Structure 1
Amino acid sequence: MHYTMQTSVDGEFDAVVDATVDALEDEGFGVLCDIDVRETLKQKLDEEFRSYRILGACNPTLAHQALEEELGLGALLPCNVVVYETDDDEVAVRAVDPERLVGVADNPALDSVASEVHGRFERVLAAVEAGSY
């Protein structure tokens, strides 16, 4: 089962993270949290790990619409976008597929919001893919 939308690019990791944040902002998303998994695992477990960031993205208008329909949906927010180094020396950007995510709520009233977020994430990934790093 595919649960993310994704692309991979050649480039410098931090530049791809910055481009991803910029593309999210262009689509009306703010990054509410930015988790540096590599640093966290080093600090907490003294383990080495690839560069890996989790960006918690939220579009307030769309989140509000969704929460009006399903209060419990907050347990699935914000929508995560991950950026990480691949084994092929590329940088992957993956966004949760909002249509799959919202599907667990089994509430057809959320379909239009999920579709809107899906379209915006497609444009985010296309913008990252089109960039030069």
Structure 2
Amino acid sequence: MNNQQTSPNPDSPVFSRTTSTPADATAARLMEVAKENGFGTLHSYDLKQILTSKGFPQTKACHVLEVCNPAQASKVLAADYGMNIMLPCRISVYEDDGKTVIAMARPASLIGLFAPKAELQAVAREVESTMVKIIEDTAGGS
């Protein structure tokens, strides 16, 4: 197991960790850890399988998981219903250079591009904090 931060800059719009655990097992573990932290997995896309089935063969595993905490999503929608474009949150699990990367776009960075309202920023920071924990726990506990 290799738990290494690959996006050390806290101002980076992307947060990621690496692990030596295969991508398929990491994606399954991430779903469990997300649930333990109040986030349900709404959908999981296997991009390797999807693109290969459409005639575009892929050699590396890549899973994109849509996760959501209903209470936090409700807060976002109550503050600005147009922010439904930000929902659900996505976490990617993919193979790169012999390792598995778990990555997300930081919710606080993204929401700031669209709606600088203070209440939305507060929710985004809470969501981001939990999602960072989910990624770290997945990478560290895989």
**Structure 2 length as normaliser, TM-score?**
0.86
Instruction: Tell me how large the CA RMSD over aligned residues is.
Output: 1.4
**Runs (5+) with no aligned partner, structure 2:** 1-10
Q: Report the AA paired with residue 104 of structure 2.
A: A
Where do 1:1-133 residues align within 5 Å? 2-87=12-97, 89-104=98-113, 105-132=115-142
Alpha-carbon displacement from aligned partner over 1:3-61 (angstroms, at most 9, x marks no partner): 22110001122211111111111111111111110011111133224100100010000
Answer yes or no: is the 8 Å Cα contact 2:65–2:90 preserved in 1. Answer: yes
Distance 1:129 1:99 in 2: 22
The count of corresponding residues between Structure 1 and Structure 2 is 131
Give the letter for the 2:128 counterpart: H
Which segments of 5 or more consecutive residues in structure 1 lack a partner in the other structure? none
The TM-score normalised by the length of structure 1 is: 0.91
Asked if 2 retains the 8 angstrom alpha-carbon contact of 1:41 and 1:49, the reply is no
